[in-house]
Amino acid sequence: MTGAADLERWISQDGQRMAALEAARHLALPDWCLAAGFVRNLVWDRLHGFSVPTPLNDLDLIYFEPAVTDAARDRELEARLDDSLALPWSVKNQARMHERNHDAPYRSTADAMRHWVEVETAIGARLDEQGRVVLVAPLGLEHLLAGTITLNPERPRPRAFRHRLEAKGWQQIWPRLVVNS
């Protein structure tokens, strides 16, 4: 049975993902992780038996720093990351994202992730002080590891869910995914 230990191992065996985690850790941001497709796509690739990873259209580095919420800071961090590792970085301080989403202020990175549209997207990974992969999964791993796309029951937004299903083309890339809405 696949579980957290398998997922941590899969990430640690992926050279590009580990290089990205190292670059992100180097920034020493509070409460950070690489989230969304960074983890989700790896699992869906494995569940579909892909031997070559699906390319990431962006790397979502999220963190929680209430003292500095200016979006310019995120752009500065993206530039620093790009200088060290040329990947499509997208950096977002979750301490301000509640405003865009019309939510009450978030209390942490995991709390922000609890408000994301799909359960399977609300997962991230970071490195601890010893360089080990640590998962951040406030909505759990069960749905992701089952190969589903699930509307977040804690904050259901069916219109956004349907839009993302169409726009992202997940079922064309990973045809065995099952939609739970």
Q: Convert the chain into a string of H (helix), E (strand) and C (coil).
A: CCCHHHHHHHHHCCHHHHHHHHHHHHCCCCCCEEECHHHHHHHHHHHCCCCCCCCCCCEEEEECCCCCCCHHHHHHHHHHHHHHCCCCEEEEEHHHHHHHHCCCCCCCHHHHHCCCCECCCCCEEEECCCCCEEEECCCCCHHHHCCEEEECCCCCCHHHHHHHHHHHCHHHHCCCCEEEC
pLDDT band at 166 (very low <50, low <70, confident <90, very high): very high
Q: What local confidence, expressed as pLDDT, does residue 181 receive?
A: 79
Q: What local confidence, expressed as pLDDT, does residue 8 receive?
A: 97
What long-range pairs does 105-111 form, CB within 8 A, spacing at least 24? 106/64, 108/31, 108/64, 109/31, 109/32, 109/33, 109/62, 109/63, 109/64, 109/136, 110/136, 110/138, 111/138
Q: What local confidence, expressed as pLDDT, does residue 93 receive?
A: 98
Q: What local confidence, expressed as pLDDT, does residue 161 receive?
A: 98
131-163 pLDDT per residue, tens: 999 999 999 999 999 999 999 999 999 999 999
Q: What local confidence, expressed as pLDDT, does residue 91 receive?
A: 98
pLDDT band at 2 (very low <50, low <70, confident <90, very high): confident
Return left, alpha or beta for 55; rule: phi > 0 is left, psi -120 to 50 is alpha, else beta.
beta
Place of tokens 């998962």: 135
Percent of all residues in the chain with a pLDDT value above 90, rounded to a whole number:
97
Q: Tell me the average pLDDT across 14-35.
A: 98
Strand partners, 180: 150
pLDDT band at 126 (very low <50, low <70, confident <90, very high): very high
Q: Tell me the average pLDDT across 153-179.
A: 97
